[in-house]
Amino acid sequence: MRALPIAFMLSISISITLSSQLVSDVRAMREGDKINFTYTLNSNRPATLQLYYSFDMGGNWIGPVNSLEGNIGSVIKSGNLAFTWDVFKDVDELVGDSILFLISNMQGSSTDSRDGKLYNEITIRHQTWITQNLNYDIKKESFCYGNVYSNCSKYGRLYSWQSAKVACPEGWHLPNQSEWQELIDYLGGNSEAGLKLISKNNRTEQDNFSALFSGYRRGASSEGLDKFAYWWAVSDINPDIPVAVSIKAKDYSVNFIEGDVQNYSMSIRCLRDHIIGISNPLSVSMLKNGIIVNNQTAIGYIKNYVERNISEWQKKGEFEKTADYQIRVTEETRNNKVQELTSEAVSKLKDDLRKIINWNDFILGQYDADNETYLVTSKQFGNFALKIPINEAQDLRREWDKVRFSGQDFLINGNNVSLAKFSLHNPVFDKSYKYDSNISTAYIMNNISYNFAPIEVEIPSDELNAINNRIENVTTNIGKDPVDVNIPVNQTVNGSTFALIIGNENYRSEIKVPFAKNDASIFSEYCKKTLGIPAKNIRLLIDGTYGQILGEINWLSDVMNAYSGEAKAIVYYAGHGMPSEKDRSAFILPVDGNSTITQTALKLDDMYASLIASPSKYVTVFLDACFSGSAREGSLIEGRGVRIPPKENLLSGNLVVFSATSNDETALPLDDNAHGLFTYYILKKLQESKGKTTLLELSNYVIDNVKKASVVINNKAQNPKLVSSPLLQNKWQTISLN
C-alpha cells in the first residue's frame, strides 16, 4: 500500500564552487512514487553527477541512488537540468523530518592514471581526500625525504611550490586555505583536529585521514621527520601565493604558515573536485507498503511510544524508597509493562488511523449479483468485498456519497495496516451494514514479535486476519533479531587481537547481497563486546571498494608487523564471491567490481598471501560468500547457465579459513533473522557460549545447524567447511577467539 500523497518543494541552501563548477537552485517535487528534481549546472567541462540523501543533516550521506532517469550520470553538460528518482525501486521507505538531498560527484576512481598508483580515499562531511600523501614523481621538483627511496613509499613525496600547483591528478586539486579550514573546523578546530588526523590509537572515520609526520625539505636539507607534518595549500587571497598547513608532534596543533615558504618542499593531500549542491532540510513521508501516521511508520509509532513511556516508568521516583523501587522495577515487571504499553500504543495507533483516513475516498465498484457483494476500493487498503442484499444494492449505490463509517478496526502486521472491520450506515434508507474480515476470508493469528534493544514485546494475539477460510498462524518480527540485541559482554580485554570486518551489500554493477551490512555490523559488535577486542583494534568496512579493501588489508599487515608475531587477527567478509572461468580461482568482489572482469576483484590467494606475509600467532578468516558465480538471491551474471566449482585454496602460514559453502553451493540468507545463514549461526554460538568456544566447537555447531536449516528453510544444501594450513593442522581445534 502506498503512503498518502504529499507534495513538497526543495530549495537550495548551500552551494560550493570548485574548479569553475557549480550546482545550484536544487528543487524537487514529489509526484506519486517519484521525486522530480531540477537544478542548474555551470561547469567548464562535462560532469559526472550522482544523487545522495542524508537523515542527519549531512553527517552521513546514503547513496549514490540508482533508479534515476534524466540529466544525471556521466557526461552532463551545463544548463538548466532535470531528472527523476523512482524512490521505491531503491528503498522501501523514505521517512524523516529533516532529510537533505545532495547532487555531487562524490565517488570516483582513486587510481592515478599517470603512474597507476592506487590511493585510498575518505569522505569527511562532503569533502573527499586521498588518505596517503601524494607520491607522483615530478622530476627535479619532487623528492624523497633524505633522498631515501623507501621514504617515498611510506611518506609520499615532498614537492616544490611550483610542482605542487600541478601535481594532483585529473579530477583532484590542491586544496585551498578555506577547504583545509573547513576540515579542521569540522574536526573540532585548530587545537583538536591535529590529534584526530594523526592519531592511530583510537581510530574513527576522521582518523583514517592517516596523516604522518613526514617532515619537510628546505633547500637540499631534509628535516623534521616524525616531528612535523607539512602540506601545501593555496592562499584564499591569491592562487599564486603558497600557504603551509602544519601539525606539530609536540602538541598536535594545526597552524597555517603564510609568508616566505617558497624555498620549502612539502607533502600534498589532494582533494576531489566536488560539484555539489545541497538542499534545505525537508520533511518526507514515503512508504512502499503501509501507512504513515504522524510522520512515522506503524513500527516506528509503536516503538517510540513504548520506549518513551518505559523510560519514564522505570525511573526512580523522588519520594520512592529504594527498597520499594527494587520491588516495582524488575525484569518481570518491566516486561509486563512493555506489553501493557504495546497494547496502549496499538490502540492509540488505531485511534489516529480512524482520524487520518479519508473515508469519503472509498469507491463503490461493480455489484456481483450472484454473491450479493459490492467491490469496494480504497487507496490505503486496496479492494475488499462488502455484503449487501440484492434488494438494497441499488439504493446504496444512489446514496453512496451520504453513507457514514463507524466502528473501524485494523490489522497491524509490521508496517502493513489492513482494514479488519467497520460499520456502514445509509441514513436515507436507515440501513446499516457490516464488514468483517473474519467472514468469508482466511483467519490468520497474527503474533507480532518486537525486539528493539533493550525491550522485547509482543503485540497481543487479538490481531486476527481471515482470508478465504484459510487458517494460518503468522509471527512477524519487528526490529532486530535477538541475536543482534542480546550480545554478551566479556570484561576480558584482548588488546593484541585485531579484526578486519567487511560487509559488501550494495553493488554498483551486481545484484544486492541481502543482509551483508547487518552481518558485518553485528559481527563487529560481537568482536568488541563478546570477544573483548578493543574498538580501536577493529576496522569495519561497509560496501568496500577495491582500493578501500586493499587499504584495510595493508593496515592489518602493518599492525601484525608492528607486533612482531605476538598479535592475532580475525578477518570477516560477507558479500559476493566469484570464480575465474579461466582457472577456477576464487575472488572476493568489491562493490565497484564487475563479476565478468577478474581484474576488478581481489583474488583470495593474494589476500591470504598478504595476511601471512606478516608474523602473527594465527589468522582466522570467515567467508560468508560463495565462489561459484551464484549469490544469496539469484546469480551474479544473469543467463550464466552453469556454476563453476572454485578451485581449493592451498593454505600456508598460521591461517585458518572457515567458509560458508563447499564446492559450487550457494551461501544462503536467513530472511526472518536478517542475516546470512552461516553468519547467523556463528553469532548464535558466540551468544550462547558468551565467546568461550574453541574453533572446533564453533565449527561443529555452525556446520551442523547450517546443514539442517538450509534444507528445511531454503530447500537447498549448504555445507560450511573449515580448512587450516599444515602448520596448524593439529592446533586449530583448540584455538579460542577470545
DSSP code string of 647-692: PPPPP-SSEEEEES--TT----EEGGGTEEHHHHHHHHHHHHHTT-
pLDDT of amino acid 265:
96
Other Cβ atoms less than 10 A from the Cβ of 185: the count is: 12
Q: Between residues 20 and 598, which one has the greater pLDDT?
A: 598
Same domain for 681 and 554, yes or no, is yes
Candidates 239, 229, 241, 223; CA nearest to 268 is 229
Q: Tell me the residue ranges of DSSP E strands in 227-304.
A: 228-234, 242-248, 254-258, 264-265, 271-272, 276-279, 282-287
Same domain for 350 and 382, yes or no, is no
Say what percent of the chain tops pLDDT 70: 85
Same domain for 89 and 212, yes or no, is no
pLDDT of amino acid 633:
52
d(CA 539, CA 109): 22
DSSP 358: -
pLDDT of amino acid 19:
39
Which residues on adjacent β-strands are paired with residue 83?
37, 70
Q: Is residue 738 part of a domain?
A: no
Q: Is residue 389 part of a domain?
A: yes
Same domain for 585 and 619, yes or no, is yes
Residues 6+ apart with CB under 8 A from 259: none
Q: Are 445 and 464 in contact (CB under 8 A)?
A: yes
pLDDT of amino acid 201:
40
Q: Report in angstroms the alpha-carbon separations of 409 from 134, 381, 412, 653.
A: 65, 12, 10, 65
pLDDT over 60 (residue 442)? no
Q: Between residues 615 and 584, which one has the greater pLDDT?
A: 615
Q: Between residues 42 and 687, which one has the greater pLDDT?
A: 687
Mean pLDDT, range 221-248, rounded to an integer = 93
3-state SS of 286-326? EECCCCCECCECHHHHHHHHHHHHHHHHCCCCCCCCHHHHH
> How buried is 358 (Cβ within 10 angstroms: 0-12 exposed, 13-18 middle, 19+ buried)?
exposed
Residues 6+ apart with CB under 8 A from 490: 529, 530, 531, 532, 690, 691, 738
Q: Is residue 452 part of a domain?
A: yes
Mean pLDDT, range 76-102, rounded to an integer = 85
Same domain for 588 and 631, yes or no, is yes
pLDDT of amino acid 682:
96
Which of residues 458, 482, 506 is at a domain's end? 482
Same domain for 347 and 386, yes or no, is no
**DSSP per-residue string spanning 61-102:** -B-----EEES-EEEEPSEEEEEEEEGGGT-SEEEEEEEEEE
Say what percent of the chain tops pLDDT 90: 41
What's the mean per-residue pLDDT of the chain? 82
Same domain for 98 and 132, yes or no, is no
d(CA 244, CA 235): 9
d(CA 183, CA 168): 19
Which of residues 325, 356, 387 is at a domain's end? 356
Q: Are 420 and 402 in contact (CB under 8 A)?
A: no
Classify each residue of 650-679 as buried b or exposed e, where b means 16 or more C-beta atoms within 10 Å of its C-beta.
Answer: ebebbbbbbbbbbebbbbbbbeebbbbbbb
Which cell numbers in the block locate residue 688?
Answer: 550462547
Mean pLDDT, range 208-229, rounded to an integer = 91
Same domain for 587 and 456, yes or no, is no
Same domain for 142 and 262, yes or no, is yes
Q: Is residue 284 part of a domain?
A: no
Mean pLDDT, range 634-647, rounded to an integer = 41
Same domain for 140 and 69, yes or no, is no
pLDDT over 90 (residue 187)? no
Mean pLDDT, range 252-277, rounded to an integer = 87
pLDDT over 50 (residue 462)? no
d(CA 649, CA 637): 23
> How buried is 39 (Cβ within 10 angstroms: 0-12 exposed, 13-18 middle, 19+ buried)?
buried
Which residues on adjacent β-strands are paired with residue 669?
676
d(CA 9, CA 280): 10
Q: Is residue 114 part of a domain?
A: no
Lowest mean pLDDT across 2-6, 521-525, 644-648: 2-6
Which cell numbers in the block locate residue 343?
Answer: 497494547
d(CA 248, CA 213): 8
Q: Is residue 283 part of a domain?
A: no
pLDDT of amino acid 282:
66
pLDDT over 60 (residue 2)? no
3-state SS of 557-621? HHHHHHCCCCCEEEEEEECCEEECCCCCCEEECCCCCECCEHHHCEEHHHHHHHHHHCCCCEEEE
- With cell 608492528, the residue in question is 562
Q: Is residue 279 part of a domain?
A: no
Q: Which domain holds residue 476?
A: 359-482
**Amino acid identity, residue 225?**
L
Domain count, the chain: 5
Residue 451 — φ and ψ, nearest 5°? Answer: -160, 75
Same domain for 676 and 549, yes or no, is yes
- When pLDDT is cut at 50, 70 and 90, the band that residue 199 belongs to is low
Q: Are 423 and 406 in contact (CB under 8 A)?
A: yes
pLDDT over 90 (residue 224)? yes
Q: Report in angstroms the alpha-carbon separations of 171 from 18, 43, 77, 110, 499.
A: 11, 13, 16, 10, 33
pLDDT of amino acid 689:
93
Q: Is residue 736 part of a domain?
A: no
Residue 353 — φ and ψ, nearest 5°? Answer: -60, -40
Q: Report in angstroms the alpha-carbon separations of 148 from 157, 231, 263.
A: 11, 20, 20
pLDDT over 60 (residue 112)? yes
Same domain for 262 and 131, yes or no, is yes
Q: Are 213 and 155 in contact (CB under 8 A)?
A: no
d(CA 295, CA 285): 6
Residue 15 — φ and ψ, nearest 5°? Answer: -145, 140
Which of residues 306, 321, 356 is at a domain's end? 356
